[in-house]
Amino acid sequence: MNLLLSLLFCVTLLAGCTADNAYRYYGTRHYAAVPAKQVEVLHDAPAKPYEVIADFQCRGGSAAYLRGLSAKIGADAVIVTFIGGYYDRAEVWAGRDSMTNTAFRSIGTAIKYKETP
Amino acid sequence: MKMIKALTLCLALAFLSGCASVDVTKTAKGFHKPTNPNDIEIFKTVPPRAYEELGDITVSGFPAGEVAKMHNAIRSKAAPLGANAVILTSEGLTPQWPYKRFAVGVAIAWKD
């Protein structure tokens, strides 16, 4: 399993592309695409009220990649999280993970800010 | 050169006996604020509290005797997803030598 995931990780890196891409779009309203630089990249929920319009998930995607996907659907921002990865068995504390930069999967939650009355 | 370094790192990681892997797949909608790994509970039965499923977890590469360490790895990797607990649906040893411990589970967040 370790070898299989490592090889998949390597292939993804070498090809500079993503794998196991799976997206979900919520709701019936669709928005016009916007320039990628207009989409905020967040790593936590914003303080402003928002609506989730889509979820993106893939192996190997960067924050910039998720930003690009979000721009295509007209999102105001994308909340990016990297999950999974290798774990150093020498670690003894649950709160410490020296291998957070080996995340196997990238997820982006595309949002639209709600208009304040 | 960068790709060669990346490939070398990947292969080294695969063969290093010091590393195990935790694969997490999100199944829930939307964003859940990351939690503190120290607070994540490990269940082997369905907890008596309302919850929502966030994603599934597959763990591999631990030696047979490192059960508690594997649980800590699950905590560390489930926290970014926003989990409060992980319900392990399957746990055991691979059928061939060198027997490795694996686990499969569901990351959850409390509703209340």
More confident position, B55 or A115: B55
What per-residue confidence (pLDDT) applies to B81?
97
pLDDT of residue A32: 97
Q: What is the mean pLDDT of chain A?
A: 90
The tens-digit pLDDT sequence of chain B (112 residues) is: 555 455 455 545 544 557 899 999 999 999 999 999 999 999 999 999 999 999 999 999 999 999 999 999 999 999 999 999 999 999 999 998 889 999 999 999 999 8
The answer, for A91 touching chain B at a CB cutoff of 8 Å, is yes
Look up residue B93 and give its two tokens. 């040893």
A89: CB partners within 8 A, 6+ apart = B17, B18, B19, B20, B62, B63, B66, B69, B73
Q: For residue B93, what pLDDT is reported?
A: 94
Torsion angles phi and psi, residue A93, rounded to 5: -100, 135
How close A40 gets to chain B, by Cα (Å)? Answer: 15
A-chain residues near B1 (CB < 8 A): none
Asked if the C-beta of A10 comes within 8 angstroms of chain B's C-beta atoms, the answer is yes
Spell out which residues of chain A touch residue B25, defining contact as CB-CB under 8 Å. Answer: 57, 84, 105
ipTM entry:
0.84
Residue A2: which pLDDT band, with cuts at 50, 70 and 90?
low
The pLDDT value recorded for residue B7 is: 47
Residue B83 to chain A, least CA–CA distance (Å):
12
Return residues 50-79 of B near A (CB < 8 Å): 55, 58, 60-63, 66, 69, 72-73, 75-77
Q: Is B66 exposed, middle or buried (0-12, 13-18, 19+ CB in 10 A)?
A: middle
The pLDDT assigned to A3 comes to 59
pLDDT tens, position by position, A10-56 = 554 554 579 999 999 997 899 999 999 999 999 999 999 999 999 99
Query: What SS3 string covers B11-61?
Result: HHHHHCCCEEEEEEEECCCCCCCCCCHHHCEEECCCCCCCEEEEEEEEEEE
